[in-house]
Amino acid sequence: MKLTDPREKSPPLLHLLSHTRPYIANDLKLDYKLDYKLDKNKRDALLAALALLPLYGPAVYLLLRPQLPNDDDRVT
């Protein structure tokens, strides 16, 4: 069973439902765990991007920077 309102997946509601409607609560618990895991994966991906993103600046700069002038280039 899937409910669209995210507020209905909060733990206090689960606690309440586990006493009144245990079959709904079990389904919601599964949804809640899945959502939590998805959020955690997103968080991990974000952490990875943030951890390594600053290094891309210097690396991209090395690729784009102009060459230093050689001796021959200075001859007028």
Partner 1 sequence: MCEGRGLQGPAPGPRVRPATIATTRAEPGGDGNPSDMDALLPAKWSLRGLNLGILALWFCFGVYAFKFSPNAAVVTDRTLLQAAINLGVDEDGNSINRIFLALFYVLGLLPVIYASLLLPSGKSGNGVPAWPFVSLSMFLGAFGLLPYFSLWQPCARRRDVLGSQSKLTRFLESKANAAVVLASLAGLTAMVATASSSDWSGYLSLFGKSRFTHVSSLDFCVLTLMAPFWVYNDAEQRQWKRG
Interface with partner 1 (CB under 8 A): 37, 40-41, 44-45, 47-49, 51-52, 54-63, 65-72, 74-76
User: What span, in angstroms and rounded, lies between the C-alpha atoms of 70 and 54?
Assistant: 31
Nearer to partner 1, 12 or 58 (CB): 58
Nearer to partner 1, 21 or 42 (CB): 42
Question: What are the Cα distances from residue 36, in Å, to 33, 57, 74?
Answer: 5, 32, 62
Q: Are 28 and 8 in contact (CB under 8 A)?
A: yes
> CB 41 → partner 1: shortest distance, Å?
7
